Amino acid sequence: MKKQLYIYEIQALFDDVQRSEVFEDQKMMTDAVPLFPVEEINAKYEAEKQSENFNLKEFVLSNFDFLGAKISIQRENHLPIEEHIEKLWDELTRTAYEEKGTLLKLPKPYVVPGGRFNEFFYWDSYYIMLGLQVSGRVEMMENIIENCSYLIQNVGFVPNASRTHFLSRSQPPYFSLMLDLLFETTKDENIYIKYHNTLEKEYAFWMNGAEKLENGSAVNRVVKTIHGDVLNRYYDAENIPRPESYLIDIEDSENAGEEFYRNIRSACESGWDFSSRWFADGEHIQTIETLNLAEVDLNCLLWHLEKTLAKSSSLQKLNEKEIDYSERAAKRRQIIDQYFWDETSGTYKDYHIQKNTNTPSEHIAALYPLFLKIASEDQAKAVAKNIEEKFLYQGGLVTTTQNTGQQWDFPNAWAPYQWLGYQSMKNYGFDDLAEKIKNNWCSNVERVYKNTGKLMEKYNALDIETVAGGGEYPNQDGFGWTNGVYLKLKKN
CA atoms of 489 and 486, how far apart (whole Å): 5
Beta-sheet pairing, 351-352 with 230-232 = unpaired
Q: Name the nearest CA neighbour of 415 among 489, 347, 472, 465.
A: 489
Q: Give the contacts of 181 (CB within 8 A, at least 6 positions apart).
A: 126, 129, 130, 133, 141
Taking the chain (492 residues) in runs of 10, the rounded mean pLDDT of each run is: 70 96 92 94 95 95 83 76 96 94 96 91 98 98 98 98 96 98 98 98 98 96 97 97 96 92 98 97 97 98 99 98 98 98 97 97 98 98 98 98 96 97 98 98 96 92 73 65 98 94
Interval 208-240: pLDDT, tens: 999 999 999 999 999 999 999 999 999 999 999
Helix (H, G, I), strand (E, B) or coil at 238: coil
Alpha-helical segments (H) within 26-162: 27-31, 38-48, 56-63, 81-91, 122-134, 138-155
CA atoms of 127 and 174, how far apart (whole Å): 10
Q: What is the reported pLDDT for 463?
A: 85
Q: What is the reported pLDDT for 6?
A: 75
Looking at the annotation, which residues are catalytic?
Answer: 273, 457
CA atoms of 220 and 207, how far apart (whole Å): 8
Q: What is the reported pLDDT for 472?
A: 46
CA atoms of 155 and 237, how far apart (whole Å): 14
Q: Give the contacts of 401 (CB within 8 A, at least 6 positions apart).
A: 362, 363, 390, 391, 410
- DSSP bridge pairs for 79: none
Question: Are 238 and 168 contacting, i.e. CB atoms less than 8 angstroms apart?
Answer: yes
Interval 165-187: pLDDT, tens: 999 999 999 999 999 999 999 99
Return the number of other C-beta atoms located less than 10 Å from residue 487's C-beta: 21
